[in-house]
Structure 1
Amino acid sequence: MKTLVCSCNDTLPIDPPALREALRLAAGEDAAEGLSVGHRLLCRREAGAFQQAAQGQDALLVACTQEARLFSELHAQTEGTPPLAERPIRFLNLRETAGWSAEARERPAALPPKLAALIAEAQRPDPPPVAQVSYRSAGRCLVIGAPADLAGVLPLLGDALDLTLFLDGPAAPLPQDRLVPVLGGRIEALQGWLGAFTLRWRDEAPIDLDLCTRCNACVSACPEGAIGLDYRIDLARCDRQRACLSACGVAGAIDFERESAAREQGFDLVLDLGARPLLDLHQPPQGYHHVPLRAADGAARLSAAVVALRGSVGVFDKPKFFDYRVKLCAHSRNEREGCRACIDVCSAQAIQSRATVEGPDRGGIRVEPHLCVGCGACTTVCPSGALSYRYPGPDELGGRMRTLIGAYLKAGGEAAAGRPLLLLHSQQGGRQAIEALGRAAQAGPQAFGGPAPAPRPGAMARRRGLPLAVLPLALWHSASVGLELWLSALAWGARGVVVLLSGEEAPDYRRALAAQAALGQALLQGLGWSGTPLRLIDLAGADLPEAALEAGLQAALAEGLRPALAPAAFAAGSDKRAQLELVLDHLLAQAPQAAALPAALPLPSVPGSASPWGAVAIDTGRCTLCMACVGACPASALVDNPERPELRFIEKNCVQCGLCVGTCPEQALALQPRLLLAEAGRARREPRVLHAQEPFRCVRCSKPFGTLKAIENMVAKLAGHAAFQGAAAERLKMCGDCRVVDLYSDPREVRITDL
């Protein structure tokens, strides 16, 4: 790959030989040979160097995002360059994320390892493509609002979309020109997505607004004045003379006998002008726009919605962000619910339970890909790995982390600036916050090392920018990566992992990430590490986001993992549970006080978030060994013994879903979040006996069947039943074969064949 690095008019203190050597150590000879460094203004007077590189056959990486559009246009105007569709240009920001910082200016010799790490990660091959989800919109747009508001929307959208108005609000005169269909009534439900919305409402008014011609004959004929130009009848004033019926005549728009009718209609787009949204979600479906016109920013929001609606006609594709394996799902068994973590965390209500639906697809969940917005929070909280993120997959995301951390360490970053701190951020708000911090470090009123002049009005406050040990990694959404990759990053050599929350995340996502961080912290501290290596930096509501980000990063650097871990050799995989096992093995092998570890480490129980590790506590006085829990367990953590009445447990498999607890008829089970450390964690992998009993022996043939507790419970519960008295009660203590023999050999029994 050809990599072009520019110093951006010498504002990045880059040493070309040092960077080339750092990249050689980080990514190999080929990467170093493809590096073109030493440019000062690649986007201006040195544009010829870019054009020459673009004419080659190698993939092209340009370390500049500021002028990405200019480079793309220049590429299109250069003869002999392959089309961007065949060989797209990659762009990498080295200004705000590395070079524009106080540390880079003060210690330029420490900068190359970070630059090499960022370049090495950007040079990774593209991930495999994911499946696509399609939307088809013909422009049928439903506009919901008060009559006065609807009139102002028609000129903005009427020439581009097929509009239908639904009156919802205070009574007001309707436009006399019947330019578009008008509906009215009481809205019962609105659901769907771009190209597939469904509105359900109940039409309770005597005047059908869609049939009404606005001739106003009914208004003139009504002796009580009960009909206004909103074409609603005030039934309290109407004396039922029904003069309006005669006036309406053949139009037939008025019918006092019409029953309240449930109606339904489909639309492609929805513009909701009501004060409160019909779809009150943090992530509303695509194609739905809520614009409260009377809000302070109502006019601006309407302009944005109009632009979006006018551009929402045609066929559109988006990635299918997730993969679901129902066999691993711990949500339900036999119409009983267990884990609900994904359903509860989804801000788009894209996940529905299928625990009680009829048909062959009963059980598990269903994720509607058209509603999914790709946050990945469901995959983060899923304890079993049934839901996995695919944009990109966990193996690719983990590979990027490992490359970034490993390249930094190989290039000498630990000696230059200390162990790396991984900063995970979103591609939208998170990236903007990081770039704002970099610009504040470069354009602040005080030059690095010089006196501080009085800042002019409106000047940016001086910041130090991203520290050299902080390695930023952009994600589609900050909630798409969870505990298994956070801990993996520590195992690969990071001193800590910080997740940047920019304010665009739903409250449920914040709670879920906080729960994951608390669980990880409890695990690390319980194993003997100090520090706070797993952190969230939340910029929501911060008066000075750059200051909050800078302070959070400094705290994270100061409170990283202590002592340091020797970097692990394992790679990132696509199986969540397997990845956690690899991390645990590495952590247990390097636990600071391995000899003093407890037999089991208690873990916090966070509502709405299942622990990925834990045990099942059993009340042996209640348990009858009916094995209902074995049939309910989706992870094969609870297993029976075919040779004898015995309930066994494999703790490594348990996902703490609670299905066994909900299934047990005797309420003998309880979840116990913990990590079993006995025998250096090996005991977690071995089945152990939770409860065992001697089998009950048939009172007739002595063949073992059932358990003593189960037979005693059955006999006790049926003791008062008329059908189980005398010999019938004794048969409860017989095996199946002897019960049949005894039944047919007893002359006192009346059988169907005798009738």
Structure 2
Amino acid sequence: MTTLICDCNQTQPLDPKALSQSLSEPLTLHTALCRREASAFVQAVQGTDDVVVACTQEQRLFGDLAVEAQAKTSVIKFVNIRETGGWSSDAKNASPKIAALLAAAHLPEPEPVPTVTFKSAGRLLILGQMDQAEQAAALLADTLNVTIFTQGAGEAGGAQNRRYPVLGGQVVRVDGWLGAFKLTWQNNNPIDLDLCTRCNACVAACPEQAIGLDYQIDMSKCSSHRDCVTACGAVGAINFQREAQEETAEFDLVLDLREQSAFTRHALPQGYFRGATAANLLRLRELVGEFEKPKFFDYKQKLCAHSRNEKVGCNACVDICSAEAVSSDKSRQQIKVNPNLCVGCGACTTVCPTGALTYAYPRASEQGVKLKTLLSTYQKAGGKDAVILLHSQDAGQALVNELGRAAQLKVAKGLPAHVIPVSLWHTASLGLDVWLAALAYGAAQVLVLHTAEEAPQYADGLQAQMAQAQAMLEGLGYAKPGRMPVQLVHAAQALELDAELQRLTTGQQRLSTTVPAATFAVMAEKRSTLSMVIDHLLEHAPVLKTATAPEALALPKDGSLFGSVEVNKDSCTLCMSCVSACPANALQDNQQAPQLRFFEKNCVQCGLCVSTCPEKALNLVPRLLLTPQRKEVRVLNETQPYGCVRCGKPFGTLKGIEAMIGKLAGHSMFQGEALQRLKMCGDCRVIDIYSAGDEQKIV
């Protein structure tokens, strides 16, 4: 690996000697790598080693230089150390952070994952007023096949010459995604736009001015004079007797110029654009052909706590998805994720209690390696009290860059030296398991930057998980009440972010007790990672070293991933419905005796057992058990077996059979011998029925 660093015309106080020691690699400090020292880059890419360039501003220039020089290296990476470290009022202390960022850039790219393919032939639907729609169409028609669905004539009205197909009526709905949009509308316009010659005779003849220059009739104004029908004459384009019909048409792209969006969801489908902005028009012209995106999620139905036996337990992923890509399929006892609608936010994987949904690109394990590399390199270079700032690669990265530039201009302080920014596809893609893992790796604090781009429900979901983390860290003695080592940072402007970072990272929000650096690796399975994190935190927990250590920590009910189950022994009949419903194997039966057993470590608090229990005898108790019993199977309820009154073989529980007899004793079908047969096992019941039949024949 070859690393090239540059102080950008001496605007960054870089220490090449210290960085070389941290990376175990000789480094040369450049001042104008993108200008007069560009030969150093050209020389580096002529080798076979991977090349890391500590500059993102001139990434395009370096790419062009690599092409011109016919670079031999197969990998060239770019990392920003300027706005994230070198441009800050605290830059003189940022060497450990810069070393950490460079070390993370040396890591291999995430493993490839399956992709989702979109195909677009350029069929564009424009929804809006006729004049605006035709203006937008004129800019796109040379590349795209345009159809207009008119929503009024607008101030100027439509052009007289028919340049594009025009549909009219009332929009019912728009569904789909890039390459597969479906428009459904009610064709309730008396004017047949295919027959209409745009002669405007009907417009001039209408006494109520109910006909616009998009040739739609406003039926609320029409008084049935039918002068328009007479004016249309031989063309015959107007027919008020035509029955309104629902029609459909398919498109690859949609440009919506209306005030109200066709979609109420926060994350709009790919290929759907709002407003005729320059950016939207340019993007639309590019969307002809075949496109791919990563399949961001993996789903394991057997772990899913959504439903069992048509009973719904966990609905967290369905509720939080801002793209409406996740839906319920109770008939198949699972959820469905539409990969075409999925935008890769990862919120569903973060709130999933079992790990049935996992984030695939990059995987949690790869993010764990990155965090461990960042923190270990930072600590090795002498850094202390590291704060991990998780931000999105779009709005979040732009905000971090803007803050760095503001610090260079002396209008902001910039990122503190101990704040390490980590770019994510989306901040909702990481949750409790990775946050706590970062603390176990040596971070003193984890902040998640929430800008204006995130859906409102994401903040709610993240806050619920952060409340879980807070309860654990406080209860174990790592954080004092009021200190929040894991929390959201709300900022939409650079100066707002600057103030928040100064407030949160220089105060008393960090861990009050340092966690010794863990050696475990973040796993793809959320529950496995959480198990190792909790074991590590328990091993070093200050509260467990006191004489008043609690047996368990109460956790907030909302979003709890751990807990126990209480059983009302007076109501429970040990029917074991809860055992069959439990997706995590936390509730278990005993083949040797009528017992309901419980393995607390596995419980995900999904509630399926509660909703399934016919006797309403179960109750969830969110908590984190601190004793070894958390990993042991214990008996929640047991009773005497009930023996067959004929052969003596146990075939049920005493309470269960008594409850059944009590409920059926008054039924006309279960009187006399029939009631007695309820006390028999299946074999004896059949024998008794046939014996009774033989006796009747003898008589």
TM range (shorter): over 0.9
SS, match of residue 402 in structure 1: helix
Q: For 1:740 and 1:651, locate their aligned partners in 2 and report how far apart those are by CA, in whole Å.
A: 41
Q: CA deviation at 1:585?
A: 0.7
Cα distance in 2 for partners of 1:239, 1:675 equals 72
More displaced, 260-269 or 223-232?
Answer: 223-232
Which aligned pairs between 1:8-47 and structure 2 lie closer than 5 A? 8-24=8-24, 32=25, 35-47=26-38
> Structure 1 residues 590 and 309, CA, compared in 2 at 3 Å: closer, same or farther?
same
What's the offset of the Cα at 1:442? 2.2
Q: Does 1:48 align with 2:28?
A: no
- Written as runs of structure 1 = structure 2, the 5 A alignment for 1:331-480 is 331-356=306-331, 362-413=332-383, 418-444=384-410, 461=411, 463-480=412-429
- 1:745 is aligned to 691
Structure 2 CA distance, aligned partners of 1:615 and 1:309? 53
Q: What CA distance in whole angstroms lies between the structure 2 residues aligned with 1:242 and 1:502?
A: 56
Contact 1:436–1:546 (CA<8 Å) still a contact in 2? no
State which drifts further: 143-152 or 471-480: 143-152
Change (3 A) 1:210 1:386: farther
Tell me by how many angstroms 1:193 deviates: 0.5
- The 2-side partners of 1:6 and 1:411 are apart by 19
Using the alignment, how far apart are the partners of 2:539 and 2:494 within structure 1?
41
After TM superposition, the score normalised by the length of structure 1 is: 0.87
Per-residue deviation at 1:197? Answer: 0.4
**Alignment-mate amino acid for residue 416 of structure 2:** P
Residue 393 of structure 1 and its aligned partner are, at CA, apart by: 0.3
Q: CA deviation at 1:5?
A: 1.1
Structure 2 Cα separation of the partners of residues 520 and 238 of structure 1: 64
SS at match of 1:601: strand
**Change beyond 3 A, Cα 1:135–1:329:** same
Q: CA deviation at 1:403?
A: 0.6
Verify: 1:602 aligned to 2:549, yes or no. Answer: no
Classify the secondary structure of the residue corresponding to 2:686.
helix
Give the Cα separation in 1 of the matches to 2:245 and 2:132: 26
Encode CA deviations 1:673-706: one digit per residue, 9 max, x unaligned: 111112xxx2112111111111122222222111
Could you say which residue in structure 2 is the equivalent of 1:548?
500
In 1, distance between residues paired with 2:268 and 2:430? 22
Q: Deviations over 1:166-213 (max 9, x none)?
A: 122478855432222221222222110111001111222332323433
Distance 2:561 2:493 in 1: 32
Q: 1:128 to 1:745 in 2, by over 3 A?
A: same
Give yes or no for contact 2:252–2:271 (8 Å, CA) kept in 1: yes
Equivalence for 2:283: 308
Q: Secondary structure at the match of 2:277?
A: helix
Match of 1:719 among 665, 669, 682: 665
Q: 1:631 aligns with which of 562, 576, 580?
A: 580
1:266 maps onto 2:250 in alignment: yes
3-state secondary structure, aligned to 1:438: helix
String of CA shifts for 1:28-58, please: whole Å, max 9, x gaps. Answer: xxxx1xx332222111221111111121111
Post-superposition shift, 1:125? 1.4
Q: How far apart are residue 68 of structure 1 and its match?
A: 1.5
Which ranges in structure 1 are unaligned for 5 or more consecutive residues? 25-31, 292-300, 357-361, 445-460
Q: Deviations over 1:474-500 (max 9, x none)?
A: 111111111101111111111111111
What is the rounded CA distance, in whole Å, between the counterparts of 1:231 and 1:18 in structure 2?
Answer: 74
- TM-superposed CA distance for 1:570, in Å, is 1.0
Letter of the 2:660 partner, please give it. Answer: M
Per-residue CA deviations over 1:287-343 (Å, capped at 9, x if unaligned) read 11122xxxxxxxxx5222211212211111111111111111111112221111111
**Which residue in the other structure is 2:301 paired with?**
326
Percent identical: 52
State which drifts further: 236-245 or 704-713. Answer: 236-245
1:736 and 1:160, CA in 2 relative to 1: closer, same or farther beyond 3 A?
A: same
The number of residues matched between the two structures is: 692
Check if 1:701 corresponds to 2:664: no
Question: Are 2:413 and 2:498, in contact at CA under 8 Å, matched by a contact in 1?
Answer: no
- Return the alpha-carbon distance in structure 2 between the equivalents of residues 366 and 397 of structure 1: 26
CA distances 1:537-586 after superposition (whole Å, capped 9, x unpaired): 1104787443333333323xx32112111111112221110100101111
Partner in structure 2 of residue 665 of structure 1? 614
- 1:468 Cα deviation from its structure 2 partner: 2.0
Cα distance between partner residues in 1 of 2:64 and 2:569: 74
Q: Deviations over 1:598-627 (max 9, x none)?
A: 112110112xx3x11111111111111111
Assess if the C-alpha contact under 8 Å between 2:596 and 2:637 holds in 1.
yes
Paired with 2:379 and 2:217, the residues of 1 have a C-alpha distance of 77
Superposed CA offset, 1:384-430 (max 9, x none): 111111121001000000011011112222xxxx2312121111222
**Other structure's SS at 1:639 match:** strand
Give the match's secondary structure for 1:165.
Answer: strand
Amino acid at match of 1:564: T
Q: Which of residues 476, 486, 495 in structure 2 aligns to 1:534?
A: 486
1:691-748 per-residue CA deviation (whole Å, 9 max, x = no partner) reads 1111122222222111222222222222332211222122112111121122122259
Give how far 1:135 is off.
Answer: 1.1
- For residues 501-545 of structure 1, the C-alpha deviation after alignment (integer angstroms, 9 at most, x for no partner) is 222211111111111111101001111122421121110478744
Match of 1:81 among 54, 66, 71: 71
Unaligned 5+ runs, structure 2: none
Structure 1, 592-601 or 519-528: larger mean CA deviation: 592-601
Q: Say which SS state the counterpart of residue 471 (structure 1) adopts.
A: strand
Q: Which amino acid aligns with 2:21?
A: E
Give 1:200-279 correspondences, 5 Å limit: 200-216=184-200, 229-233=213-217, 253-279=237-263
AA in 1 matched with 2:486? L
Within the candidate set 145, 156, 179, 2:128 is matched to 145
Query: 1:203–1:262: 8 Å Cα contact kept in structure 2?
Result: yes
Aligned partner (choices 179, 182, 197) of residue 198 of structure 1: 182
What amino acid sits opposite 1:392 in the alignment? P
How far apart are 1:217 and its partner, in Å?
A: 6.0
Rounded to whole Å, the distance in 1 between the matches of 2:221 and 2:438 is 73
1:242 and 1:684, CA in 2 relative to 1: closer, same or farther beyond 3 A? same
Residue of 558, 563, 583 corresponding to 2:513 = 563
Cα distance change on mapping 1:592 and 1:545 into 2, 3 Å? closer
Higher deviation after alignment, 644-653 or 92-101: 92-101
Q: Note the alpha carbon deviations across 1:367-390, whole angstroms, 9 max, x for none.
A: 111111111111111111111111
RMSD between superposed Cα atoms in Å:
2.5
Give, in whole Å, the separation in 2 of the partners of 1:599 and 1:629: 26
373-382 or 702-711: which moved more?
702-711
Distance 1:219 1:466 in 2: 64
Instruction: Report if aligned partners of 2:153, 2:212 keep a CA contact under 8 Å in 1.
Output: no
Letter in 1 for 2:485: P
Give the Cα separation in 2 of the matches to 1:369 and 1:443.
44
Question: Contact 2:566/2:618 (CA < 8 Å) preserved in 1?
Answer: yes
- TM-score normalized by the length of structure 2: 0.93
Give the secondary structure class of the aligned counterpart of 1:310: helix
- Identify which range, 268-277 or 168-177, moves more after superposition: 168-177
Residues 634, 7 of structure 1: alpha-carbon distance in 2 compared, 3 angstrom cutoff: same
Change (3 A) 1:219 1:276: closer
Instruction: Decide whether aligned partners of structure 1 residues 587 and 244 sit closer, same or farther in structure 2, where only a CA change above 3 A counts.
Output: same
Residues in 2 aligned to 1:505 and 1:588: alpha-carbon distance in whole angstroms: 34
Alignment check: 8 A CA contact 2:17 2:27 kept:
no
Distance 2:608 2:360 in 1: 27
